Structure 1
Amino acid sequence: MERERLLVVVRHAKAEPFAASDVERPLSERGRADGHELGIWLAAQGVAADVAYVSYAVRTRQTWSAVAEGAGWTITPHFDGNLYDTDEEGVLELVRTTPESAQAVVVIGHNPTVGMLAQLLDDGEGEATGAVATEGFPTSAAAVFVVPGAWADVEPTALRLSAFHVGRAD
């Protein structure tokens, strides 16, 4: 039996406030723990990433590492320089290039893009609809969408928001 096709949109975990440049800001200790907890939660939801698109910024690469460790994922992510400062359409263009064999895609990026993307994709019918508007899209947040068709056909307001979670370590 084939798994449901999923798109998981993640905002990077909590980063240190300063570094030599914005792109070089690493995760804080809390960010590493929160990212790990998010990975545990994603695994408990049955998310098994086949493809990951991750911004090349230090904090997003470190978020990937923490999430993947928590989830038990071993795939090699695609680090993408365009995810650092693209808009929602730029992320959609990347997602649309995903091989059709992939069942679950994880995108780790930055606000405001990922939060706006989550709101843009939501068809308004899912179990978690409204969660992003109510809770915002804080660090270590993940929106899990069910994709009804081909990756090449992903469009605004066409995906069901099945789950929303903010990873927070105790």
Structure 2
Amino acid sequence: MKTLGIFRHAKSDWNDARLRDFDRPLNTRGRVGAAVMGKHIREHAVGWKRILASPAVRVTQTIEIAGEAAGETPPITWDRRIYLASSAALMDVLREQDGAPRSILLVGHNPGLEDLIFDLVPGNGENPLRDIVEDKFPTASYAVIALDIEDWSDLRAGIGRLEHLVRPRDLDPSLGPTVTD
């Protein structure tokens, strides 16, 4: 059995039009959301053995702030392939992981992360958490999927159970949607 965590980067800043998408930092709301989610991730106590993450600035800042709030950050592997990756590309990255880590936290971007949830977790109408993701997987959302596999190389569609889902607004209503979301 393996456990996959999915953590979408926090809200980014769009104010500097000169910045490349890759270089956009977090905005103030994103910094607050990353800290709130970092505390929640620690309290949820999965014990992530490895973090795989996009090296985009908004992801690195999300991890840094969440890690400070949690008081720990497991080893991180920065992988440029995760930046704006599709679900298929994310599955390929996960399949490359050796069989040792029982838990991996994947930190990156939509729509790939959301699509990965849809691909791994069957949409049979019996999982209310998946139904929430179908509505929206907003910035700084955190999901945990149980995978009935022994090795990451065995990862394939339809084998996951979405066991946990938290959005920043679930912990702090002020982090909920605004007119610009």
TM-score, normalized by length of structure 2?
Answer: 0.83
Deviation at 1:126, TM superposition (A): 5.0
Task: Please list the CA deviations of residues 104-129 of structure 1 after superposition, one character each: whole Å capped at 9, or x if unmatched.
Answer: 11111111111111111113555633
2: CA distance between counterparts of 1:162 and 1:113?
Answer: 19
Corresponding residue number in structure 1 for 2:2: 5
Structure showing greater radius of gyration is 2
Corresponding residue number in structure 2 for 1:141: 141
Q: Is the CA contact (8 Å cut-off) linking 2:24 and 2:57 kept in structure 1?
A: yes
Corresponding residue number in structure 2 for 1:96: 95
Deviation at 1:66, TM superposition (A): 1.9
2: CA distance between counterparts of 1:145 and 1:131?
Answer: 14
Identical pairs, percent: 28
Structure 1 residue runs without a partner (length 5+): none
Residue 55 of structure 1 aligns with an amino acid whose one-letter code is S
Q: Is the CA contact (8 Å cut-off) linking 2:8 and 2:139 kept in structure 1?
A: yes
Deviation at 1:76, TM superposition (A): 2.7
2: CA distance between counterparts of 1:155 and 1:70?
Answer: 33
TM-score, normalized by length of structure 1?
Answer: 0.88
| CA-atom RMSD in angstroms | 1.8
Secondary structure at 2:130's aligned position in 1? Answer: coil
Equivalence map 1:44-83=2 (5 Å): 44-83=43-82
Task: Please list the CA deviations of residues 136-170 of structure 1 after superposition, one character each: whole Å capped at 9, or x if unmatched.
Answer: 11100111101211211111111100011112445
Equivalence map 1:28-47=2 (5 Å): 28-47=27-46
Residue 59 of structure 1 aligns with an amino acid whose one-letter code is R
- The runs of 4+ residues in structure 1 deviating greater than 6 Å are none
Corresponding residue number in structure 2 for 1:165: 166
